[in-house]
Chains A and B, each alone.
Chain A
Amino acid sequence: MAENASHDAHTTGTQAPGGAAEHGSSFPPFDTEHFSSQLIWLALIFGALYLLMSRVALPRVAGILKDRGDKISGDLGAAKAAQAKAEASGVELEKTLAEAKAKAQGMGQEAHARLAAETETKRKALEGELNAKLAAAEAQIADTKAKAMSNVETIAKDTAAAIVEHITGKPADPQKIAAAMANAKA
């Protein structure tokens, strides 16, 4: 609306608002007619902008940036502390692990030694037993052999007596047979 009015004034040149025509200049930026109103509104609006920026907006943004910086550095500190704690826990864990390993190895060795000792005792007991049995068996064999040998002597005496009786036709003298056998033995 206003544009049209101005333009009409511009072309007809009869009305007051046609600034360009009035001042003989058709180039609006150099038209001094509107300088005062522009300066007044610019001063008002730029002044308000300056106040708003310097009092409200910029301190607020600075606060936001500072809060964020604080939070980031705080979080970084917490992260570092957590990392140090985790590392300490890792060291502790390794220590515990090494201890447990050593203990387990000790237990294993102990068990091994104990089992070996047990086995050794059992083996020795068994060996003793077996030796005793062996000795008993040997004794029995010797005994049996001795018995058999004495039987052989009796059989030999009887056989000799029988042979002598058969050949001579009269019973043999047991004393002579015993003497002959002792002679043969010697």
Chain B
Amino acid sequence: MAAESQGIDPIHQFNINRLFDLRLGGVDASFTNASLFMLIVFLAITALMVLSTTGRHVVPTRLQAAAEMAYEFVASTVRDTTGDAGMRFFPFVFSLFMFVLFSNLIGLIPGAYTVTSQIIVTFAFAALVIGVVLVYGFYKHGTHFLHLFVPSGVSPALLPFIVLIEIISFVSRPISLSVRLFANMLAGHITLKVFGGFVAMLLGAGAYAIISPLPLLAITLLTAFELLVAFLQAYVFAILTCVYLNDAIHPGH
């Protein structure tokens, strides 16, 4: 009975379970299923980017070609958005993109845990991005970085409002960045689970079992859609990171 209700409860998949307990200086640092899948994501990226490129083939193997494609894709995104000066952030954006992408994709495997479906994880990434923007912006431009909030060519009467709007827009960035990714992953997985629950319920409902293939078909289509979302959200996350970093590199509109 317990297992059956678990199967239909769409929220259960987001539960975090301690695999073994660990405390560091009074802080809970237990290794959980979320940590396990972070580690799996890390190992998968390592396998793609490090192990597949050990041969350094001039004519690439399939995996090496995939690694090169990922490299060139992110590199062109960073260069197009931030210019050559932004290429110093390329490893950062690349790590972010790959981690988010692999978390999203691995999360789609039935039974796997989706690391990015936790608001704390996406918020940590967003805060990291904004932190890097702030630190680099002030380090590179000093107080000139504050010109980001003062667009040129605005009439003095409107300036206070514009500055206020700019500040609100800047502050809301980490929130929108983290909630967008988190909510997309959460909603997609809940939808998949709900439709999966429909299949199970219809199968157990006597004559209605005959229409149970319909939600199954819906799951198939939704899974394809979720694959798109998984890639798209990773890309959106990476490109917004680039846009924000571009503000730190070239402040002032």
Contact = CB atoms under 8 A, between A and B. Distances in A.
A28 B182 CA distance: 13
Interface in A77-103: none
A56 B38 CA distance: 20
Given A45-B42, A49-B45, A31 B16 contact: yes
Interface centre among B31, B99, B117 (most CB of A within 10 A): B99
Contact of A42 (B12, B56, B57, B121): B121
A42 to B, nearest CB: 6
B49 A57 contact: yes
B76 to A, nearest CB: 12
Interface stretch (B90-98, B197-205, B232-240): B90-98
A22 B45 CA distance: 36
A139 interface: no
B15 interface: yes
Interface string B38-55: 110110011001100100
B221 interface: no
Interface in A18-74: 19-20, 26-31, 33-43, 45-46, 48-50, 52-54, 56-58, 60-65, 67-68, 71
Chain A binding surface, main DSSP class = helix
A40 B95 contact: no
A53 B56 contact: no
Interface string B17-55: 111001010011111111100110110011001100100
A2 interface: yes
**Interface range for B:** 35 or more
B126 interface: no
Interface centre among A5, A11, A35 (most CB of B within 10 A): A35
**Interface range for A:** 35 or more
Chain B binding surface, main DSSP class = helix
Interface stretch (B63-71, B207-215, B243-251): B63-71
A40 B31 CA distance: 10
A46 B99 contact: yes
Contacts of B150: none
B15 A6 contact: yes
Contacts of A29: 14, 117-120, 182, 186
Contacts of B80: none
Contacts of B228: none
B94 A53 contact: yes
Given A49-B42, A52-B50, A67-B58, A38 B99 contact: no
Q: Which 6 A-B pairs have the closest CB atoms?
A: A54-B91, A57-B49, A41-B35, A28-B14, A2-B17, A34-B16
Interface of A: 2-8, 10-11, 17, 19-20, 26-31, 33-43, 45-46, 48-50, 52-54, 56-58, 60-65, 67-68, 71
8 contacts: A7-B15, A34-B32, A39-B120, A45-B35, A49-B46, A49-B98, A64-B56, A68-B58
Given A45-B35, A53-B95, 10 more contacts: A7-B12, A11-B2, A17-B17, A37-B22, A37-B28, A37-B31, A48-B42, A49-B46, A58-B71, A71-B58
